[in-house]
Amino acid sequence: MTATPGATPTIVLVGHGMVGQRFLEALAERGLTATHRVVVLCEEPRPAYDRVALTSYFSGKTAEDLSMTDMEFINDHGIELYVGDPAETIDREARTVTARSGRVFGYDTLVLATGSYPFVPPVPGKDAEGCFVYRTIEDLLAIEEYAQTATTGAVVGGGLLGLEAAGALKGLGLDAHIVEFAPRLMPVQVDEGGGAALLRTIAGMGLSVHTGVGTQEILTAEDGSVTGMKLSDGSELATDMVVFSAGVRPRDQLARACGLTVGERGGITVDEQCRTVGDAHVFAIGECALAADGRVYGLVAPGYEQAETAAATIAADEASFTGADLSTKLKLLGVDVASFGDAHGTTEGCLDVVYSDSRAGLYKKLVIGPDGTLLGGILVGDAEAYGTLRALTGSVPPVSPESLVLPAGADSGAQLGPSALPDEAIICSCHNVSKGAIRGAVTDHRCTTVPEVKKCTKAGTGCGSCVKVLGQLVNAELEASGVEVDKGLCGCFAQTREELYEIVLALRITSYQDLLDHHGREGARGGEGCETCKPAVASIIASLAPAIGASGYVLDGEQAALQDTNDHFLANLQKNGSYSVVPRIPGGEIAPEKLIVIGEIARDFGLYTKITGGQRIDMFGARVEQLPLIWARLVDAGFESGHAYGKALRTVKSCVGSTWCRYGVQDSVKMAIDLELRYRGLRSPHKLKSAVSGCQRECAEAQSKDFGVIATANGWNLYVGGNGGATPRHADLLAQDLSDAELVRLIDRFLMFYIRTADRLERTSVWLERIPGGLDHVRDVVVHDSLGICDELEQLMRAHVSHYRDEWAETINDPEKLARFVSFVNAPDTPDPLVAFVPERDQIKPDLPLLNIGLRPADDILEGSAR
């Protein structure tokens, strides 16, 4: 079919990767999805996903986690998306595209976003069984399956994807080798010094690196499977599988076949509006396009900019793509690597400022022009200053170049902050957002928080490397506008939570009222406090209870009045006013007798039961007066509180580990039980979740937890700062190959340092990104004891462990405490009339025919309620 004059104009997008999805979003933002028919032909069996984060699949991410496609967006905008049905031919004269399925689509505008394909060197044996490329999720699935029968793997290529592929092979339990033809790793991004620092760090992780040699032949057995590699220096490398990651080439075959102009070395030739040369109806964007400056851009940020340019041109807006910033910030195998500007110093007359610490794996180089202009640089091992330095590129820094690379405190010169950047400095390269635009979001659009600025400008919504600088700029602009940025906990306290923690610890304050009266804001002293600071201070006192001589029981005396609703009753309030009861099941391991007890209790009290994602059994529908009766039976059977209601450790999830699993290399169940029993009841700024996986296959999903443990052949790897909730965050590797004792000691330190320094209701994931210095600082403190406080952190944890008491058992043995567990103080035998149920699927559900109560403040339920 051809486009019919007078009909709704049609845009056909060929290719649905990251750039293709950004093009669709740009169309929608300009209203073009409402005025045009939009058809998308996608070759892969799944819509657009985050190819930049592809390797995270091997560390627990699923294909769904990597997806960048919101099907609600696709449906709301009437986009016709055909997955697994790529374009086969283009008829430019008829303006039609024929898909593999035989469907024919007419177009008024055709946009090619076909991306690139992996380059495989033309060496003998390259197609042998056991040879793979590293480009798509399907490639990763094939590698994962083949690795189950392999012991050694080799990667051809030491660039970004090559290093990630080697890390993936190591994570799959293989001895991994990297073969790079250039004399150093990542030759495009880093120089000789940076490559040497990177090599030392990666070799220290157990990866074997072979630089300055090429692959001459893939050796095979009689059955055609890989047995090794012959290298250009005459040596042979034994390996069971080979992964090619030697670069990519533009996918321009469709364009060639239909007569479009392509570059001598590939790429569909386009002008500054991303129109193809010779055909104004056809655009090309992303890695398949040869831009007007003669370059094929292999980074996602330039692709996004091309997508914006094409969409704007189609909408008859003025736009052009004349080139892009090739700066990159990466984390490879846990190592920060960044380069920006003229990183290799090709400008005539330029000079280098270099700081190198081979012992620490640090390398920093700045390229300075003859007039003092910052031209570019390379950072390996510490890329903390990347956002500021990249934004300063092309200008003369207001401080000495030496102060920009030396460690904090090693130079007496002024330290540079983002407020020193000019307004035209680009803060977010993914979406080309300048400092001036961010300032405008604060001053003109009245944005007062980072999320508001993100929504207004899109800054920080790409790779995320600019978020820290973004937060600093927002606060600086608010202060410059005369808006006081109050860092106090609330209206009652001018101090932060961290400062209050130090006050409570140093002065051994055991009373909230005492703290408020002596350290609160002047107007708040002698008052009752607020709903923000009372539970926060209660948590501080509870976490420090053994050290300061306070009662660790949250319902003792004044502490009881400070608690949130859930803590008031040691159970989770549900939407109809009933409660759920969650006993602790360490590591998810439970004997049949205990299972029977839970079943009998649920049956006798008519409770709804559900197995949770944290390997526990939740019982819903208990009335407040039933809670002590349920706890008594659970305690008699050997259960204790699971603290599902508290800002405390929830669970330590585990797989079955080496005891049962054929892949397991350590006893993950025992370790999970030991950790859960050690940290049970530990009060913290926010809830804590953990997991232990018995091998690198990561079935317990440890890298989505606040602290996660993964077994290795040499011990345990410790990951911290993960979050699988509403804002998922992948955990970072803190230390590796730890013994049992080393692991426990580092977790002790990490948790107590987090409790000491985090803000109220701040998960470890947010804390790790907010705390100055981030992961590197936390590692310095808890691993290397840079602040000299590790003995104190360990002592605080030992005090917690030795003074732990089960809150359920404490309650049922104290008649005075039991008196609070009634619906109405003046009618203790009267049940709450709002708590009602109806049957569903052989169990019960809340009956809320007239009122959706939700999670409500205690005093709003009924006057006279004990809540």
Taking only the tens place, the pLDDT of each residue in 91-137 is 999 999 999 999 999 999 999 999 999 999 999 999 999 999 999 99
pLDDT in tens, 666-682: 999 999 999 999 999 99
pLDDT in tens, 140-153: 999 999 999 999 99
Q: Tokens for 391?
A: 């934004």
Beta bridge partners of 708: 691, 719
| pLDDT value, residue 863 | 29
What is the rounded CA–CA span in Å between residue 157 and residue 177? 10
Q: Tokens for 78?
A: 């009437």
| Closest of 384, 575, 348, 458 to residue 29, by C-alpha | 458
What is the rounded CA–CA span in Å between residue 38 and residue 42? 13
DSSP SS3 for 677: helix
Tally of residues, the chain? 867
Residue 122 and residue 115 in contact, taking contact as beta carbons nearer than 8 Å:
no
Residue 6 has pLDDT above 60, yes or no: no
Residue 721 has pLDDT above 90, yes or no: yes
| Closest of 394, 396, 385 to residue 426, by C-alpha | 394
Which range (126-140, 311-325, 393-407, 849-863) has the least confidence?
A: 849-863
**Which residues are CB-contacts of 421 (< 8 A; sequence separation ≥ 6)?**
388, 391, 392, 427, 435
Instruction: Find the angle CA(366)-CA(369)-CA(370) to the nearest 5 degrees.
Output: 135
**pTM (2 d.p.):** 0.56
What are φ and ψ of residue 189, in 5° steps? Answer: -90, -35
What is the rounded CA–CA span in Å between residue 289 and residue 298? 10
| pLDDT value, residue 463 | 63
What are φ and ψ of residue 504, in 5° steps? Answer: -60, -45
Please name the residue ranges forming H helices in 191-247.
192-203
The arithmetic mean of pLDDT across residues 365-391, rounded, is 86
Q: Is 685 exposed, middle or buried (0-12, 13-18, 19+ CB in 10 A)?
A: buried
Q: Any long-range contacts for 69-76 (C-beta under 8 Å, 24+ apart)?
A: 69/16, 69/21, 71/47, 73/24, 73/25, 73/28, 74/24, 74/47
Which range (178-187, 504-513, 723-732) has the least confidence?
A: 723-732
The arithmetic mean of pLDDT across residues 212-227, rounded, is 94
How would residue 569 be classed by pLDDT, with cut points 50, 70 and 90?
A: confident
| pLDDT value, residue 407 | 61
pLDDT in tens, 579-628: 999 999 999 999 999 999 999 999 999 999 999 988 999 999 999 999 99
Q: Tokens for 530?
A: 């607020």
Residue 631 has pLDDT above 80, yes or no: yes
The arithmetic mean of pLDDT across residues 312-325, rounded, is 89
| pLDDT value, residue 828 | 67
pLDDT > 90 in the chain, percent: 52
What is the rounded CA–CA span in Å between residue 509 and residue 503? 8
pLDDT > 70 in the chain, percent: 92
Q: What is the mean pLDDT of the chain?
A: 87
The arithmetic mean of pLDDT across residues 229-250, rounded, is 93
**Which residues are CB-contacts of 28 (< 8 A; sequence separation ≥ 6)?**
73, 77
What is the rounded CA–CA span in Å between residue 120 and residue 248? 9
Residue 2 has pLDDT above 60, yes or no: no
pLDDT in tens, 20-41: 999 999 999 999 999 999 999 9
What is the rounded CA–CA span in Å between residue 538 and residue 532? 11
Residue 366: in which H helix or E strand, if any? strand 362-368
| pLDDT value, residue 866 | 32
What is the rounded CA–CA span in Å between residue 548 and residue 550? 6
| pLDDT value, residue 557 | 74
Residue 865 has pLDDT above 80, yes or no: no
| pLDDT value, residue 333 | 67
How would residue 75 be classed by pLDDT, with cut points 50, 70 and 90?
A: very high
The arithmetic mean of pLDDT across residues 783-800, rounded, is 94
Residue 361 has pLDDT above 90, yes or no: no
Instruction: Quickly tell me which residue has 């990667």 as its tokens.
Output: 155
The reply, when asked if residue 699 is annotated as ligand binding, is yes
Give the β-pairing of 688-693 and 707-712. parallel
The reply, when asked if residue 695 is annotated as ligand binding, is yes
| pLDDT value, residue 853 | 34
Residue 727 has pLDDT above 70, yes or no: no
| pLDDT value, residue 331 | 65
Cβ atoms within 10 A of the Cβ of 444, count?
A: 10
How would residue 856 be classed by pLDDT, with cut points 50, 70 and 90?
A: very low
Residue 204 has pLDDT above 70, yes or no: yes
The reply, when asked if residue 790 is annotated as ligand binding, is no
What is the rounded CA–CA span in Å between residue 583 and residue 630? 10
First to last CA, the chain: 69
pLDDT in tens, 32-73: 999 999 999 999 999 999 888 787 777 667 788 888 888 899
Q: Is 314 exposed, middle or buried (0-12, 13-18, 19+ CB in 10 A)?
A: buried
Residue 220: in which H helix or E strand, if any? strand 215-220
Residue 836 has pLDDT above 60, yes or no: yes
How would residue 332 be classed by pLDDT, with cut points 50, 70 and 90?
A: low
Q: Tokens for 134?
A: 């590293």
The reply, when asked if residue 655 is annotated as ligand binding, is yes
What is the rounded CA–CA span in Å between residue 330 and residue 339? 9
The conformation of residue 407, written as its DSSP 8-state character, comes to: P
Q: Tokens for 379?
A: 């950072």
DSSP SS3 for 435: helix
**Domains of the chain, CATH where assigned:** 10-117+250-314 (3.50.50.60), 131-246 (3.50.50.60), 422-485 (1.10.10.1100), 497-563 (no CATH), 570-641+806-867 (3.90.480)
The arithmetic mean of pLDDT across residues 547-561, rounded, is 78
